[in-house]
Amino acid sequence: SLSAAGCTFEEDGDPNQCEYSHGEDDDFGWELVRSYMMPHLTADLPHGSYLMVNSSQHAPGQKAHLVFQTLSENDTHCLQFSYFMYSRDGHSPGTLSAYVRVTGGPVGSAVWNASGSHGRQWHQAELAVSLFWPSEYQVLFEAVVSSERRGYLGLDDILVLNYPCSKAPHFSRLGDVEVNAGQNATFQCVAAGKASEAERFLMQRQSGEVVPAASVKHISHRRFLATFQLDEVSREEQDLYRCVTQSSRGSGVSNFAELIVKEPPTPIAPPQLLRAGSTYLIIQLNTNSIIGDGPIVRKEIEYRMTSGPWSEVHAVNMQTYKLWHLDPDTEYEISVLLTRPGEGGTGKPGPPLISRTKCAEPMRAPKGLAFSEIQSRQLTLQWEPLGYNLTRCHTYTVSLCYRYFVGTGHNQTFRECVKMERNANRYTIKNLLPYKNIHVKLILSNPEGRKEGKEVVFQTDEDVPGGIASESLTFTPLEDMIFLKWEEPVEPNGLITQYEISYQSIESSDPAVNVPGPRRTVSKLRNETYHVFSNLHPGTTYLFSVRARTGKGFGQTALTEITTNISAPTFDYGDMPSPLSESESTITVLLRPAQGRGAPISTYQVIVEEDRPKKLKRELGGQECFPVPLTFDDAVSRGSVHYFGAELPASSLTEAKPFTVGDNQTYSGYWNPPLEPKKAYLIYFQAMSNLKGETRLNCVRIARKAACKESKRPLEVSQHSEEMGLILGICAGGLIVLIILLGAIIVVIRKGKPVNMTKATINYRHEKTHMMSAIDRSFTDQSTLQEDERLGLSFMDTHNYGNRGDQRSSVVNESSSLLGGSPRRQCGRKGSPYHTGQLHPAVRVADLLQHINQMKTAEGYGFKQEYESFFEGWDASKKKDKTKGRQDHVSTYDRHRVKLHPLLGDPNSDYINANYIDGYHRSNHFIATQGPKQEMVYDFWRMVWQEHCSSIVMITKLVEVGRVKCSKYWPDDSEMYGDIKITLVKSETLAEYAVRTFALERRGYSARHEVKQFHFTSWPEHGVPYHATGLLAFIRRVKASTPPDAGPIVIHCSAGTGRTGCYIVLDVMLDMAECEGVVDIYNCVKTLCSRRVNMIQTEEQYVFIHDAILEACLCGETSIPVNEFKPTYKEMVRIEPQSNSSQLREEFQTLNSVTPHLDVEECSIALLPRNRERNRSMDVLPPDRCLPFLISVDGDSNNYINAALTDSYTKSAAFIVTLHPLQNTTTDFWRLVYDYGCTSIVMLNQLNQSNSAW
């Protein structure tokens, strides 16, 4: 029978209540079985009416569907059914499944199934279907034949109950779930009923996929919660889902809920750029058109560098946005992010806007501008590498701008700017002028701005000078002299150190002159641009060549030809000759041919002059001549006392011939009339030379004819001669007496009691005061014999200097007045090794001041000529002498060179550029060598070790004028040089020199050797020291620190010549002055030059040596030991009754006398018109060499201030001495403080309203 809510498949059932149909796409249909109508029914089937499938009649896998009518309920349904699954042998007849299709949708997955053989009885199962209006569903049963094809499957009593299922749980309404794509979706299914342990919880997708439960949680006794999770859902997973429980007793099925997957929004268009700056971009978002789902609840900007890995996100609440703090000239990608509600609602970035920021102004100009190489005509510079943080732009240019003055004035300036290649930090400026200050600055520029660096000044190296302009050569020729003047080369290319003038006779009208003559050379100092050439031949043409010299050598030669004037002829007459014969009207004389000077004799003339009593008598050889020819008749008509008696051609008098005056003959138009017997006559012989329109004449009186009545004149002459003899005799006798008296005075003084020189500093200063008094007096009048003798006697008396022989031993053990506290050696008795000649004798210390003044002011023979005489043997025109001299020099140098012990296997390793030099009475006391180059450092230390040297004297900086003068051959700590280990033990730095103590150790030797290096750092890069005080103190320090038994003192500068020679000469001469009271500088230098070439390189050095020795003799050692200062000072301020003066006052006067006064040229910068208002007084000006130039700029490019850098005892330029600031220099004062990092200002004047500075 058919229930109102199902099918029982009985005959009396209501077919309207049990509508079912077979599936359209199945393989066979279900078979209705009614056992009472089938008597032969197998015993395997149960009795009753039901639907059945016989597996044995169908192929494996074939299906039979049974579809029931559509049900629509608004509440819980329970569908109950019975099933039968049996096979006699226990095999599975197939699979029975139940499907629930909702609202005509797809069948989906089975909500219940069973398989296998379940015995020969019926089993009951339930489907708890939870659907809600307006949904409807259909139940479909499916039988699938097994592979065994045995047994039966049956269905019966399919009923829809009006009450809940008891065997399957019912689900509450399942709601829709909405998520954003890419997020996890979670369905929570709440079920009521009893869940068995074998229950399976599934989520079915309408399309058929099955998802197992993530968790099942019991809420209460009959309620539980099943959770299902879909990971990272996409839009394709949007569908209907339901919850299902499965067990053999039945299944629970929920309603379908929708999984809604929303796509996060993304803009279609990129943002739009509105404006760009160097550190910002302003953009518009463009979010009107999107891809994805709304609504949009948040907008964001994502940006990053195109080439960078990082990105940043900014929230935006407006349609325009400004991105700040960006890097200049950088490309950025900018995208818009849109967000909808829910987790993961932010969409992908939209299309990017690619935009670049503008460049920013450079941070600063490049720094570190320095030279790497300096030459005479090019300059290689380098600077710091430029990074983006400095340029602030990838498009930039670095310009190197330089300028320098062209010509002698500062009105013409060459300027040029060169653009550097990208990433270059080195550049060579070429085609420069030598010895020029090159002002260089770097300019960094980009499209947004530029930064200029400070100007740095570099000086190019010297070069050989340009030629002296020929038009600048001016001259004044005389008969045997030529005054030549020239100008400095237009292109000096450096500091002119010397001018060399060579001259040679090339043509002469005088046959006695050999042409071409020998070539002679004269050297002049840089400030001497003229010279007087003497002892020349008259009428001779000389070829002069003038060239200038710098430290790099000689420049081009300027040539000019100069012809001396012809000179008057000369006669070979001694005294006035006696006439050959004489009559009343004639006198016969001997005419001797004259000698032409510069031009041959053209004419001879005999002049007759009446000797009148009142006329001043002419002296032989000193009278005026007769340039105007005058015949006898013309003389008579004019009343002249003389006439020309004859004119003779030069060819007629090739040898001496007699001539009769008054022979009444005519000679070349001149009548020689007879002489009048009663008159006295003077006869003159005149010679005349002519050359190129120039005429010179000379005449001599050759006879006197007395009147016939003359008696007293010879007697008068005789008496005159006797009177002269008497006068000369008296003068000679008086002179002899004077000399004897002076000699007696000197002997008495020398035999007096000598002054004790072993006194302490007090006595020495007292002695020096007397000496200075005498020398100061000699300043007043050096021309008088009395003052000169007084100077000599005063000095000799004060210092007890005896003669050069026996009395020398009297000062052997006395303390040194020149060297102060230096250890004294015994003064030897034998002569100095440096006394080598009689032409240049030694000079007494007492005469040294007068000698130096004479040599500086002498016109004929001074320091210049004396210095040039050292090189007389090197005349290039004397080939034989030159060759001989060079061979002699070479052999001499080689004989005195230092020979190193050869290294094993290298016989040539004995050479080093060094020579032994004798000291004062000490052989090989010095070693003069060059400053070691890098490859010669080991040889240098080998020499120091071998010679047991304990002192090294260095007189050069490592780098001067941008050139390496000497390698740094010592370590800062400890270092090995070959097999010699050098360790710096101690270092002492003073203002003008440094002292370093080294310890030497050598592999294979147990001895440890201590060496002191004395490094004089104050020798200027050009010339000589301004004064010798520092160098003299330096020499005293070396002497005091060198043990008497030590090896030679090693002395070097750069080449080991000029400065080295100056040091040695000073050392030797100070000892000689100490021991002998004399100095022999000339012969000392000459001896040094025979040991090593160019030991004194310039005349300036030669003069400096004299000035230094003079300062040492005048001032001596003025330092006072601290423990002796009080008694010394007390003695110095004591007033002496005789002189009414004190030693302190006398010493101060000495200081003023030896301190050189500043010349105007030395203060040229202070005297510039633009600087005059910056000086308080024009009497107090700083010298150029001491100026601290201002560096910082404050709207004023002037870098001058009236101030001077001054040394302290330990530091060079430790003080700045300046005037109290004026009203217009207050800013300059503070610029000075800032530029030189001053931390202390000492003010020694009172402050008033007119001089405040802060």
Judgement on whether residues 453 and 480 belong to the same structural domain of the protein: no
Which of the pair, 105 or 1029, is modelled with greater confidence? Answer: 1029
Length of the chain: 1254
Evaluate whether 1231 touches 1194 at the Cβ level (below 8 Å): yes
pLDDT at 736: 52
Domain end residue (candidates: 1059, 1082, 1115) = 1115
pLDDT higher than threshold 70 for residue 729: no
The SS3 of residue 360 is coil
* Rounded average pLDDT over 773-802: 36
pLDDT band at 1139 (very low <50, low <70, confident <90, very high): confident
With a CB cutoff of 8 Å and minimum separation 6, the contacts of 302 are: 311, 312, 313, 334, 335, 336, 337, 349
Phi, psi dihedral angles at 73 (to 5 degrees): -135, 155
Token representation of residue 857? 């002011």
pLDDT band at 835 (very low <50, low <70, confident <90, very high): low
The SS3 of residue 266 is strand
**Helices marked H in 615-661:** 632-638
Strands (E) in 1089-1180, as ranges, are 1135-1136, 1141-1142
In a domain, 825, yes or no: no
Judgement on whether residues 336 and 438 belong to the same structural domain of the protein: no
Sole residue written with tokens 């260095």? 954
| Angle, helix 1029-1041 to helix 1099-1115, in steps of 10 degrees | 70
Angle among Cα 266, 272, 274 to the nearest 5 degrees reads 150
Print the domain residue range for 507: 470-563
Q: What is the CATH number of the domain that holds 161?
A: 2.60.120.200
What's the DSSP call for residue 664? Answer: -
In order of 137, 193, 315, the CA distances from 171 in angstroms are: 16, 9, 45
Judgement on whether residues 71 and 136 belong to the same structural domain of the protein: yes
What's the DSSP call for residue 1122? Answer: G
pLDDT higher than threshold 50 for residue 716: no
pLDDT higher than threshold 60 for residue 1021: yes
Judgement on whether residues 180 and 283 belong to the same structural domain of the protein: no
Evaluate whether 1223 touches 1174 at the Cβ level (below 8 Å): no
**Residue 647: closest CA among 626, 668, 633:** 668
pLDDT band at 858 (very low <50, low <70, confident <90, very high): confident
Strand partners, 1244: none
CA distance 1204 to 451: 33
Domains contained in the chain, number: 7
Token representation of residue 866? 């004396």
Q: 550-587 pLDDT, tens per residue?
A: 988 999 999 999 999 888 888 888 767 788 898 989 99
pLDDT band at 859 (very low <50, low <70, confident <90, very high): confident
With a pLDDT cut of 90, the percent of the chain lying above it is: 48
Chain centroid to CA 13 = 120
The SS3 of residue 153 is strand
Per-position DSSP letters for 837-862, written without gaps between them = -SSS--EEGGGHHHHHHHHHH-SSSS
**Residue 1106: closest CA among 1060, 1073, 1057:** 1073
In a domain, 772, yes or no: no
Amino acid identity for residue 369 in this structure: L
pLDDT at 929: 95
pLDDT higher than threshold 70 for residue 1120: yes
CA distance 197 to 989: 101
Cis peptide before 1044 (omega within 30 of 0): no
pLDDT at 780: 37
Strands 993-1002 and 1008-1016: antiparallel
pLDDT band at 16 (very low <50, low <70, confident <90, very high): low
Amino acid identity for residue 510 in this structure: D
Phi, psi dihedral angles at 211 (to 5 degrees): -120, 125
**Residue 127: closest CA among 189, 173, 86, 83:** 83
Angle among Cα 799, 803, 808 to the nearest 5 degrees reads 70
The SS3 of residue 868 is helix
CA distance 1214 to 1224: 26
Chain centroid to CA 258 = 82
Domain end residue (candidates: 212, 233, 261) = 261
Evaluate whether 531 touches 522 at the Cβ level (below 8 Å): yes
What's the DSSP call for residue 1172? Answer: G
The SS3 of residue 768 is helix
pLDDT band at 914 (very low <50, low <70, confident <90, very high): very high
In order of 285, 287, 288, 302, the CA distances from 351 in angstroms are: 11, 11, 14, 11
* Rounded average pLDDT over 287-307: 91
In a domain, 490, yes or no: yes
The mean predicted confidence, pLDDT, of the chain is: 83
Judgement on whether residues 490 and 455 belong to the same structural domain of the protein: no
> What is the gyration radius of the CA atoms in the chain, in angstroms?
64
**Residue 342: closest CA among 287, 230, 264, 266:** 264
With a CB cutoff of 8 Å and minimum separation 6, the contacts of 683 are: 587, 589, 606, 607, 608, 609, 661, 701, 702, 703, 704, 705
CA distance 173 to 163: 17
| 524-528, 566-570, 883-887, 993-997 — most confident range | 993-997
Strands 1049-1052 and 922-929: parallel
Judgement on whether residues 38 and 170 belong to the same structural domain of the protein: yes
With a CB cutoff of 8 Å and minimum separation 6, the contacts of 316 are: 285, 299, 300, 301
In order of 284, 498, 530, 621, the CA distances from 487 in angstroms are: 78, 13, 9, 42
Judgement on whether residues 946 and 969 belong to the same structural domain of the protein: yes
Judgement on whether residues 944 and 1027 belong to the same structural domain of the protein: yes
In a domain, 1022, yes or no: yes
Q: What is the CATH number of the domain that holds 911?
A: 3.90.190.10
pLDDT at 838: 54
pLDDT at 611: 87
Taking the CA atoms of 797, 801, 804 and 805 in sequence, report the sign of the dihedral they define: positive
pLDDT at 1240: 95
Phi, psi dihedral angles at 483 (to 5 degrees): -95, 115
With a CB cutoff of 8 Å and minimum separation 6, the contacts of 1183 are: 1158, 1162, 1163, 1204
In a domain, 214, yes or no: yes
CB atoms within 10 A of CB 196: 14
Strands 1008-1016 and 951-954: parallel
pLDDT higher than threshold 70 for residue 719: no
CA distance 280 to 323: 5
* Rounded average pLDDT over 801-814: 34
Sheet of 530-533: strand order equals: 474-477, 482-485, 530-533
Angle among Cα 511, 514, 520 to the nearest 5 degrees reads 140
Evaluate whether 935 touches 978 at the Cβ level (below 8 Å): no
The SS3 of residue 425 is coil
CA distance 760 to 1127: 10
Element (H, E) at 884: helix 879-895
* Rounded average pLDDT over 876-904: 57
pLDDT at 791: 34
The SS3 of residue 50 is strand
In a domain, 1242, yes or no: no
Sole residue written with tokens 């440094």? 994
Judgement on whether residues 647 and 607 belong to the same structural domain of the protein: yes
| Angle, helix 1143-1154 to helix 1099-1115, in steps of 10 degrees | 170
In a domain, 1140, yes or no: no
Judgement on whether residues 325 and 409 belong to the same structural domain of the protein: no
Judgement on whether residues 890 and 1011 belong to the same structural domain of the protein: yes
In a domain, 704, yes or no: yes
Strands (E) in 366-494, as ranges, are 370-374, 379-382, 397-405, 413-419, 426-429, 437-446, 449-452, 456-459, 474-477, 482-485
Angle among Cα 236, 240, 242 to the nearest 5 degrees reads 130
Q: What is the CATH number of the domain that holds 489?
A: 2.60.40.10
Strand partners, 550: 553
Evaluate whether 1106 touches 1069 at the Cβ level (below 8 Å): no
Amino acid identity for residue 1150 in this structure: T
pLDDT at 178: 94
Judgement on whether residues 420 and 559 belong to the same structural domain of the protein: no
Token representation of residue 271? 């943002």
In order of 461, 792, 826, 830, 1074, the CA distances from 809 in angstroms are: 53, 20, 10, 11, 12
Evaluate whether 1117 touches 817 at the Cβ level (below 8 Å): yes
CA distance 4 to 16: 9
**Residue 1030: closest CA among 1013, 1051, 1015:** 1015
